[in-house]
Amino acid sequence: MKNEIIIFTDGASKGNPGPGAFGAVIVMPEEKVIEIGGFEKNTTNNRMELSGALAALDKVTKKEEEVTIYTDSKYLINGMTAWIYGWQKNGWKTKEKKDVLNKDLWEKLAQLVSGKKIKWHYVGGHVGIAGNERCDEIADALATGQKVVFYHGPLSDYRINILDLGHNDVKKETKSNKNTKAYSYLSLVDGKLHIDKTWSECEKRVKGKKGVKYQKAISQYHEEEIKSNWGVNE
C-alpha cells in the first residue's frame, strides 16, 4: 500500500429529497484507517454520493499519492470519468444549455482531483463488500439521526476486513430485497440487553411491551454501534 490511499464511500437520502448523509472509510498509506460522515437536513441520494467522495478526497493532501475509490454510485463514476470533461468544456452546461445538476459539487470535485492519480471503481451495493457495507451503515445511521462511533486508528485494529473486495453470495443474490440480511436483532427490555439471531425470537421478547427498544444489526460493528447509541456497555 505504499503511497496508495484506498477510499470507500456511500451516500443516502431518506425521501430523496429528505434528510440524508454520507459515509466514507479511508485507508491511508501508513496503514491508518479514518472513518468520516456528514449529515444534511434536506438533500438527495446523488448529492450525498458526491459529498462523500468530496469529503474523502479532501483528506488527500499529496498529489504524488495514488488514490483508488470504490463506490456503488454509477452517477459518481460516470460523472468523474466521462461526463465531466464535456461539462467543463461547455461551461458546466448540458446539451440543452442548462446548468448541470449538482454543479456546485461537481466543480469542487474537479478541483480536488486535478493533478492527482485517481482510479474509480464500481462495487455493487448490499452484496457484502466490507467497505461498502460499513459506509452504508454510517450513512444510514446519520440520515436517521443516530449516533455513529467513528473509527480512527491502525488498520491492524480495525474490526472490518476493509481490503477484502469479495462479495457475499447470499447478499448478492438478494440485493434487490429491501430487507438486508440481519447479523442479529438487539432489544432492550426493562433495561436489559438481549441479542437474538432471528426476528421471531426478538419479536416474542418485545411484542406487547411498553418502553422497549429493538433494532436490526447488519454487522458486528453495527451491533456495537447500536449498543453505544443505547448506552449499553455489556
DSSP string, 22-86: EEEEEE-TTSEEEEEEEEEEEE-HHHHHHHHHHHHHTT---TTSEEEEEES-HHHHHIIIIIHHH
Query: What are the cell numbers at 155?
Result: 488498520
Of 10, 133, 137, 196, the catalytic one is: 10
User: Can 136 be counted among the known catalytic residues?
Assistant: yes
Nearest to 215 by CA among 175, 190, 176, 188: 188
Of 136, 137, 140, 225, the catalytic one is: 136
Locate cell 478526497: which residue? Answer: 57
| Largest Cα–Cα separation, the chain | 63
Q: How do strand 66-71 and strand 4-13 relate by DSSP bridges?
A: parallel
Of 38, 79, 126, 140, the catalytic one is: 126
Please, are residues 123 and 77 in contact by the beta-carbon 8 Å criterion? no
| Secondary structure of residue 142 in the 3-state scheme | helix
Of 72, 133, 137, 196, the catalytic one is: 72
Of 20, 37, 40, 49, the catalytic one is: 49
Please, are residues 132 and 70 in contact by the beta-carbon 8 Å criterion? yes
User: Can 194 be counted among the known catalytic residues?
Assistant: no
User: Can 152 be counted among the known catalytic residues?
Assistant: no
CA separation for the pair 150, 225 (Å, rounded): 9
User: Can 99 be counted among the known catalytic residues?
Assistant: no
Query: What are the cell numbers at 123?
Result: 462495487
Q: Report helix, strand and coil shares of the chain as percent, to nearest 5.
A: 35, 30, 40
| Secondary structure of residue 7 in the 3-state scheme | strand
Residues noted as catalytic? 10-11, 49, 72, 126, 136
